């Protein structure tokens, strides 16, 4: 069995990036993303980088009004241009983002070092784990009720019917009302219920959750509980909670950093066609609406053809100075 401990299922990946599960599967089918691991049954697992790649794709919906500044010139001319443009961006408080995916990776790391963030994640994860356990317990109680109400061997069904909503809470009282035959059936069903209850509590590590809650009561405000979920059900709840917090914190940071939009700078030799793919990749990014072109020297016919193509797709502006 291959280790999937540090990987995300398709559903977890979709929730972490705020996409639907089907959209993630479509991206896999189209070759936009690649699973880090794919089982023989077709089940896919993804790594952290894929989550960030998907978040980058979603940025295209919210951050479209950005600029690509392209400088064509020799090495010295490009260095001079880049220094001047960086100074311009700094003066106007406009961030330079040459690789949004790398920025998102960096921004996702910021909350992880924040003690308050980690504490909130732990508290919410504990609450959600206990809630998930409680929900299964409610379903189990309903199943117990159904098993008793549909059991043809019970002779005095009137007692069960009268107390059907409190079979666990009033079990002692109910047993006193039943004769020996029905009492044995009731006891057997309660044993079945207790075994199922134990397994549910074990699956959700309820003992650990209660212990963590007690630790939180005496933990200093700047203290952090380090807990690594071992049970798959608990790990799923905790991971989902953490990913939602990471996604939301990253989006808040993005809004703060990219409030004025951002600029991507690309410097390339106007006589070298080797950078055409890079130019097209950056220029056709859905987040880029405007392209500023600074020509410090001649460019090749091939690059000119690319520029002509871009003029049909984007708002292309030729500038002589910053």
**What pLDDT was estimated at residue 2?**
58
**What pLDDT was estimated at residue 56?**
87
CA dist 237 and 127 (Å) reads 10
**What pLDDT was estimated at residue 1?**
46
Other beta carbons within 10 angstroms of residue 288's beta carbon come to 23
Look at residues 118, 100, 98 and name the one whose alpha carbon lies nearest to residue 110: 118
Angle made by CA atoms 85, 89, 95, in degrees to the nearest 5? 125
Mean pLDDT (10-residue bins), the chain, 322 residues: 76 89 94 92 91 86 88 93 96 93 89 88 95 97 96 93 92 93 96 97 96 90 85 92 89 86 94 92 92 90 95 94 84
Would you kindly state where each structural domain of the chain is located, as residue ranges?
8-60, 63-97+258-319, 115-245
CA dist 210 and 226 (Å) reads 15
Please state which CATH class domain 63-97+258-319 belongs to.
Answer: alpha beta
**What pLDDT was estimated at residue 304?**
94
287 three-state secondary structure: coil
Look at residues 253, 256, 214, 247 and name the one whose alpha carbon lies nearest to residue 14: 247
Kindly state the DSSP code that residue 258 receives in the 8-state scheme.
T
What is the rounded end-to-end Cα distance, in angstroms, of the chain? 58
CATH architecture for the domain at 8-60: Orthogonal Bundle (1.10)
């Amino acid at each position: 069995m291959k280790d999937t401990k540090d990987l995300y299922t398709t559903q977890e990946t979709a929730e972490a990036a705020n996409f639907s599960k089907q959209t993630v599967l479509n991206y896999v089918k189209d070759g936009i993303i690649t699973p880090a691991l794919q089982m023989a049954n077709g089940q896919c697992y993804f790594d952290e980088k894929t989550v960030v790649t998907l978040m980058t794709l979603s940025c295209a919906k919210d951050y479209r009004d950005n600029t690509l500044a392209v400088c064509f010139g020799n090495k010295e001319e490009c260095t001079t241009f880049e220094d001047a443009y960086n100074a311009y961006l700094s003066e106007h408080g406009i961030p330079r983002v040459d690789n949004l995916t790398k920025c998102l990776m960096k921004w996702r790391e910021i909350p992880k070092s924040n003690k308050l963030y980690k504490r909130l994640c732990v508290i919410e994860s504990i609450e959600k784990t206990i809630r998930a356990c409680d929900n299964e317990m409610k379903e189990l109680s309903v199943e117990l009720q159904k098993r008793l109400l549909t059991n043809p061997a019970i002779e005095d069904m009137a007692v069960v019917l009268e107390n059907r909503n409190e079979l666990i809470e009033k079990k002692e009282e109910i047993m006193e009302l039943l004769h020996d035959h029905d009492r044995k059936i009731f006891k057997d069903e309660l044993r079945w219920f207790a075994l199922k209850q134990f397994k549910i509590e074990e699956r959700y590590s309820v003992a650990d959750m209660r212990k963590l809650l007690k630790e939180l009561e005496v933990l200093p405000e700047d203290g952090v509980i380090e807990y690594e979920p071992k049970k798959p059900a608990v790990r799923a709840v905790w991971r989902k909670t953490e990913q939602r917090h990471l996604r939301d914190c990253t989006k808040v940071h993005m809004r703060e950093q990219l409030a004025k939009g951002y600029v991507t700078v690309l410097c390339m030799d106007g006589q070298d066609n080797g950078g055409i793919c890079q130019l097209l990749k950056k220029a056709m990014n859905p987040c880029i609406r405007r392209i500023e072109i600074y020509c410090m020297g001649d460019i090749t016919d091939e690059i000119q053809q690319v520029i002509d193509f871009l003029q049909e797709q984007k708002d292309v502006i030729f500038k002589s100075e910053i």
